[in-house]
Structure 1
């Protein structure tokens, strides 16, 4: 379960971010090997893949698993950013099927890294996405087999955004982004569902309402919040999609200098607290927001806040680095800028 939101400042600069919602630890909470870090890949780096390694055409920075090619989300030197999220409707295909269709097989968990190191804009993704298909093989991460159905969201500094879903026998369907993405069902269903909430607005309802029998009802609390009184409030992917879309589109316009703060505020209602989502009384695992991250696409800078501390770690992409760089995310309570 995850949510991504895109917002644009008055001057046209784009800010984009996501929550990573999982029931698995990501920052060594249980002493595990799978730890999330900031990974930077410079131009020309050979990125080792479970399939066929490739060379990075663009430098990239993002959040991924230490010692792997996997990025959960990231940004490249041209300002193209993207992420992966769970989608249960995802399909895949065998090597023989993909070869027969003259497509390139990809491992789904590596696809964000692949796209960001190969393309400079969403326009280029639109031109090339049909060349790829998700291979029906599991990733092996630090000796453990990982099988997760995934879809993808990409946005560039022009504000152009797309969602890619491998729901056609491993081949991708492309959708124009409406500025937000969550999980299942498929993207076109979510966009259609938004029409059910077209009556919502940000204006307070202040006047009294008189009914046929002469009964008069007065708004509570001066009518504050009535415009969004029927905004869905659960943490399901359907409700988070509607909630994040409406809030992001109803917030005040903002200056670029306030972009990250505005973006972070938009996420407040979809950040999932620990413990409110459990499968059973005997299951101690809780699916909640493990980290929030915001990207300033113009400055190629990220701001990440993990669930295990109050601190933000901020880092700007440096296209001049000579080799792969791995940096820890601050899990304390003090701001860390690099």
Structure 2
């Protein structure tokens, strides 16, 4: 989660039957399913940026500036939501990617600003279920249509199809070392290991980060269990995390990675590391947590940044 504003998103639990009111049309919605993720209280309701629900459906929202298009009116026969509310509806009401595909057309996304930051957030969403299916929703036209995601990676603008096509520019990038080459009588030996990764982009634009994430995801040694899987995910995300001072916006603000979240669909588990502390904290949607009937935002305790309850670490 990158932003130039400290969103203060913390690990969060939203229970089933949680009721919230959309700022798009002031109508109330009730969640059918509980979920965990990262978020905070934002105005009168809760903002969630990513998470996994009790059916193993996970969703993350990312920026799509310049290409996200919303409606300027509500519709009586549609579910009207502000952009920042879509993830609440998905996690609270959908069970699988197939479920999303069947119901996403009922949404009408209205361009209403999010509280606190006071901007209409240009978002798109990547959705994965417990069966490993993945889809992307990009609101570039009125009728929302799920997009197949054969790569399993998503970043910011441009749209998914462009990023996938761009991978054709990096066919020479590989894990394996290149062999020495002769130039006349001179044999050019590799300086060291890693020659196969020459050409892998190293900047922080969305296209460069997409290529890096796709390359690392495709080639990292497969995990044997959940702990190794989370560790792999952290290694991949570390290749695209932005430190403070490296990316400065046109307004002179620092755009940086506020936190990193990893969702495990099969065990309904959320793993979180903050910018200040890379120690991984684990939050499980277990029976104890499911018994809670009110939302919980997990607070840090002191400089150690440990959580006050359900604090289990890898």
| TM-score (norm: length of structure 1) | 0.83
* Paired residues for 1:219-234 under 5 Å: 219-221=190-192, 224-234=193-203
CA deviation profile, 1:192-222 (whole Å, cap 9, x unmatched): 11122122211112x32113x333211111x
Alignment of 1:15-164 (within 5 A): 20-26=1-7, 35-50=8-23, 51-67=26-42, 68-88=45-65, 89-95=67-73, 98-99=75-76, 102-139=77-114, 141-142=115-116, 145-164=118-137
Whole-angstrom CA distance in 2 between matches of 1:41 and 1:162 = 23
Question: How many residues end up aligned between the 2 structures?
Answer: 299
Deviation at 1:327, TM superposition (A): 1.6
Q: Does the 8 A contact of 2:57 with 2:129 survive in 1?
A: yes
Q: CA deviation at 1:258?
A: 1.4
Match of 2:272 among 285, 304, 320: 304
Give structure 1 stretches of 5+ with no counterpart.
1-19, 27-34
Question: How big is the alpha-carbon RMSD for the aligned residues of Structure 1 and Structure 2?
Answer: 2.0
User: Which whole-Å deviations, capped at 9, do the CAs of 1:102-160 have from their partners, x for residues lacking one?
Assistant: 53322110101111101101110111112212112223x25x62321111111111110
Rounded Cα–Cα distance in structure 2 between residues aligned with 1:249 and 1:37: 30
User: Residue 146 of structure 1: SS of its match in structure 2?
Assistant: coil
Q: 1 or 2 for the larger relative contact order (CA 8 Å, sep ≥6)? A: 1
How far residue 186 of structure 1 moved from its aligned partner, in angstroms, is 0.7
Counterpart secondary structure, 2:258:
strand
Runs of 4+ in 1 over 6 A off after TM superposition: none
Do the aligned residues in 2 keep the contact of 1:49 with 1:69 (CA within 8 Å)? no
Question: Which of 233, 236, 250 is 1:266 aligned to?
Answer: 236
Render the CA deviation track for 1:151-179: whole Å, top value 9, x for unaligned.
1111111110111000014x323211221
Can you list the C-alpha shifts for 1:282-303, whole angstroms capped at 9, x where unaligned? Answer: 82x2101110111222221111
Matching of residues 175-190 of structure 1 within 5 Å: 175-177=147-149, 178-190=151-163
Distance verdict in 2 for CA 1:229–1:262, change over 3 Å:
same
Give the Cα separation in 1 of the matches to 2:239 and 2:46: 32
2:239 alignment partner, SS class: helix
Residue ranges of structure 2 left out of the alignment (5+ in a row): none
2:257 is matched with 289
Aligned 8 A contact 1:180 1:241 in 2: yes
Give the aligned partner of residue 199 of structure 1. Answer: 172
Q: What is the SS of the residue equivalent to 1:130? A: helix
> Residue 167 of structure 1: SS of its match in structure 2?
coil
Picking from 270, 281, 299, the partner of 1:328 is 299
TM-score (normalizing by structure 2)? 0.89
Task: Say if 1:45 and 1:55, in contact at 8 Å, map to a contact too.
Answer: yes
Secondary structure of the structure 2 residue equivalent to 1:148 = coil
The 1-side partners of 2:40 and 2:293 are apart by 20
Query: Match for 1:237 among 206, 212, 224?
Result: 206
The 8 Å contact of residues 311 and 335 in structure 1, kept in 2 or not, is answered as: no
